[in-house]
Amino acid sequence: MPVYAYRGLSEGGRQVRGVVDAESARGARTRLRRDGIYPTEVVEESARPSEGASRLFQRGTRVRNADLATLSRQLATLIAAGVPVVEALGAVSEQSESPTVTRVLSHLRDDVSQGTSLADSMSEHPGVFPELYVGMVRAGEAAGALDLVLERLATHTEAQTRLQARVRTALAYPLFMSLFSGAIVVFLLAFVVPKVTRIFSEQKQELPLPTRILLGLSNAITDNFLLLLIVLVLLVAGALAMLRRPGGRAWLDRRLLDVPFVGPILTKIAVARFARTLATLLANGIPLLTALDLARRVTGNVAMSDAVEEARAAIREGQGVAAPLRKTGLFPPLLTHMIAVGERSGELEPMLARVADAYEQEVESALGGLTAIFEPLMIVVMGGVMLFIVLAILLPIFEINSLVR
């Protein structure tokens, strides 16, 4: 059944947009009016990515991990209850509140109804379904356990989302405070201090050292503001250009792992992602070498990803998993020890899951501790900066008052 993207007005006069299934454009408009929506534009969606994109929505649009986890769990529930895949896709499509999810699921349903496998259809939407997701669905279809695979994918996606949310929440406050504090200091030095201290320059007397330092900083910023801005833009552009190069990104990621306090946290985040993903893939029957290749791409660190690739070469020659990973020197002993125990006991997947749980908890504790240290540190630093500025302004005033007396 064709899929139509629409724009229209609700009964309350609010602009709405989304997608709807119908036999024709007229049928789409009729259905929308029946649902209380007055369409202003209805456009048929392309059936395949190669046939172009709608004017209203782009096929490459990504969806949130939370939406992906939700649709995975809903599909798993329906398929486990015996609902055919085509009907399950249609039901989840109708229930979703995300236009992008609704549109993509409608395309999946049309493809599957025409004989395409669910994994092949998902692979045409890389912005929505990652390669790891598609590979697990393919394995689930081959093993006849699609509902179990989708359930595990939902759990895996939710775990990754929680970890990302913890990291973002922990970094948001320090980043905001740093940028805001820096902006305040630059504003004071560039615009406020020159006006306040101009009177001191006219007194023709020797100024205190803090005042001379403050005037020097202020003059350096005001006289070279444009030059400093150009240099800053060039530095940012150069850094971005370096990060686009594989070698540059690998060098930076390797250096970040050696930074005190920050390096251990980044290592734990990467190991948690790697262990969680590898455990999920192996539990769903993905071959070890393929699972390692997929898991290394979610670490978020090029240096550790390259280390896993080196380990894969040794594993391909018949070695175990623990020893090659240990030789790279980037993975903590806990991971390699647990993998070694899992290989000997035949319980590799549960061991990896426990490692992921342990490191996720450690990341949360470390980020909380880092934030607890950073907040008072920022207060002390900003207090010191403001105290220096105030003293640099007040000291000459005190000297002038003493001379007047």
Q: In this structure, how many other beta carbons lie within 10 angstroms of the beta carbon of residue 147?
A: 20
Q: In this structure, how many other beta carbons lie within 10 angstroms of the beta carbon of residue 169?
A: 13
Residue 201, pLDDT score:
63
Residue 49, pLDDT score:
43
Q: Check if 62-129 and 156-405 are the same fold.
A: yes
Any idea which architecture 62-129 has in CATH? Answer: Up-down Bundle (1.20)
Q: How far apart are CA 355 and CA 276, in angstroms?
A: 8
Q: How far apart are CA 190 and CA 205, in angstroms?
A: 23
Residue 58, pLDDT score:
41
Cα–Cα distance list, 272 to 159, 162, 299, 354 (Å): 10, 12, 8, 10
Alpha helices in 284-347 (DSSP H): 288-296, 302-316, 322-328, 333-345
Collect all residues with Cβ–Cβ distance below 8 Å to 209 and sequence separation of at least 6. Answer: none
The arithmetic mean of pLDDT across residues 141-166, rounded, is 83
Binning the chain into helix, strand and coil, the percentages to the nearest 5 are: 75, 5, 20
Q: In this structure, how many other beta carbons lie within 10 angstroms of the beta carbon of residue 382?
A: 16
* pLDDT of 53 strictly over 60: no
What's the pLDDT band for 218 if we cut at 50, 70, 90? confident
Determine which helix (DSSP H) or strand (DSSP E) holds 223, and give its type and residue range. Answer: helix 209-223
Q: How far apart are CA 168 and CA 146, in angstroms?
A: 32
Burial of 101 (0-12, 13-18, 19+ CB in 10 A): buried
Question: Within 13 Å and on the Cβ side, how many CA atoms surround 293?
Answer: 9
DSSP string covering 25-63 = HHHHHHHHHHTTEEEEEEEEPPSSGGG---SS--TT---
Q: How far apart are CA 43 and CA 28, in angstroms?
A: 10
The arithmetic mean of pLDDT across residues 186-192, rounded, is 77
Indicate the fold that domain 156-405 takes in CATH.
Receptor-associated Protein (1.20.81)
* pLDDT of 302 strictly over 60: yes
Residue 50, pLDDT score:
41
3-state secondary structure of 124: coil
Taking the domains of the chain in order of start, what are their residue ranges?
A: 1-59, 62-129, 156-405
Q: How far apart are CA 391 and CA 208, in angstroms?
A: 10
302-308: list long-range contacts, CB under 8 Å, 24+ apart: 302/246, 302/249, 302/250, 302/253, 303/250, 303/253, 303/254, 303/257, 303/330, 304/253, 304/257, 304/267, 304/270, 304/271, 304/274, 304/330, 304/331, 306/250, 307/331, 308/274
What's the pLDDT band for 297 if we cut at 50, 70, 90? confident
* pLDDT of 187 strictly over 50: yes
* pLDDT of 400 strictly over 70: no
Residue 57, pLDDT score:
40
Q: How far apart are CA 47 and CA 399, in angstroms?
A: 81
**pTM for the full predicted model:** 0.66
For residue 74, the one-letter residue type is: Q
Least confident stretch, 118-127, 199-208, 252-261:
199-208
3-state secondary structure of 110: helix
**Residue of 66, 124, 75, 120 lying closest to 95 (CA atoms):** 75
Residue 3, pLDDT score:
65
167-171: list long-range contacts, CB under 8 Å, 24+ apart: 167/269, 167/363, 167/367, 170/367, 170/368, 170/370, 170/371, 171/367
